[in-house]
Amino acid sequence: MKFRFALAALATTAMGLAIAQTPAPTPAPAAPAAAAVEIPPPPKPTATAWVLVDYITGQVLAGENYNERVEPASITKVMTSYVLAAEQKNGKIKPDDQVMMSERAWREGGAATDGSYSGFAVNKTAPLLDMEKGMAVQSGNDAAIALAEHAAGSQEAFASLMNNYAAQIGMKGSHFVNAHGLSAPEHYSTAYDLALLGRAFIRDYPEQYAFNKIKEFTVGQITQPNRNLLLWRDASVDGIKTGHHSAAGYCLMSSAKRGDQRLVAVVMGSTSEKQRADDSLALLNWGFRFYETHRLYEPGKAIATQRVWKGQAKEVQLGVAQPMLVSVPRGRYDALKPTMDVPKTLVAPITAGQEIGMVKVTLDGKVVAQSPLVAISPIEEAGFFKRLWDAFWMWWESE
């Protein structure tokens, strides 16, 4: 009887210990807390559709008609750039590939057309890297077609790749039929989809994304400036792409980074080159003024511990593999509520970096950030008798 009572007491103690070792993680202390700010309405662009998105969370901070179908014009070339970057990562093409400026690419996208062009010589080759920059900086239609032909054999085949990658990104309202963005039936997108594309491009391929902040590029004897006026107006702006034709109006996908905070703005169907730039910068400034980004957890630092069975150590420290950031309305940091979801039972061995569970942060009941919890250090398997003893207690607690 006493033995059973002692075992029960020990089991109760062990269970209490396991619960105590899985507390809700506490966010890193913020800078001196700013008072909550009443957020005024955003500046309204002169555009048919527009959206402002937080890069970290993907949250729409403001927008209008952003799920309606629009012609993406030369912002299409961001999708082209994304596909080219992905195909390079997959080893299908290389930056030093020699890309032919075909007769078709020259005739459909060269100087004799009404669109923008880079000026690569017809029936001659140029390095893929140079053509990428010509497309990104000069918005060259000729370069876009030539690159599509090189990567997929034809522009039509390349458009299939564009649609495949768009689906992976989550662009549910988009369909592409060419690499340059000139008006065509069944070539469309939405402001929101383009914001998703901008976020994905920045996140997945920062090296190629950086081409979009180059202010001018020279092909042969022709030097052309980047048409994104914001690159000259605000040092925090580092992209992304302009677009224009008669059916689409003036369009701009822009992004800026100030400190840890990055925003993406998309303005479609504006009335002029200046207006799209003015409206985009006003949106970015509004977002930076009334929203703020905080670093909650740094990689490699323990934010919680969890009981481990059958291991050489009794607990494992849990943290995040990547910096965990969150963007919230200015002054609302103290209202964030973190929670942790981990398995009830952990059994050694556990490897460093092994995903153990998930940490989520909510604001007003809505998840605003989440990240996998990983083991900071490994836990080796214990010896035979320790494993046997833990197996007994695991069985006891399961009853």
CA distances from 33 to 30, 37, 329 (A): 7, 12, 12
By three-state DSSP, how is residue 328 classified? strand
H helices present in 123-272, as ranges = 128-138, 141-152, 155-169, 191-204, 206-209, 230-233
The kind and range of the H/E element at 289 are: helix 273-290
Q: Is 236 a residue of the active site? A: no
The reply to whether 94 belongs to the active site is no
Among residues 74, 102, 254, 280, the one annotated as catalytic is 74
3-state secondary structure of 293: strand
* Residue among 383, 398, 399 at smallest CA distance from 345: 398
From the list 119, 280, 236, 238, the residue with the least C-alpha distance to 226 is 238
Burial class for 32, CB neighbours closer than 10 Å (0-12, 13-18, 19+): exposed
Among residues 102, 116, 139, 270, the one annotated as catalytic is 139
Q: Which of 77, 133, 241, 310 is catalytic?
A: 77
Q: Which of 279, 266, 269, 273 is nearest to 45 (CA)?
A: 279
Which helix (H) or strand (E) segment is 258 a member of? Answer: strand 249-258
What are the backbone angles phi and psi of residue 315, rounded to the nearest 5°? Answer: -150, 155
Sequence-distant (≥ 6) Cβ neighbours of residue 113 within 8 angstroms: 107, 141
The question of whether 344 is a catalytic residue gets the answer no
Report, as residue numbers or ranges, the catalytic residues: 74, 77, 139
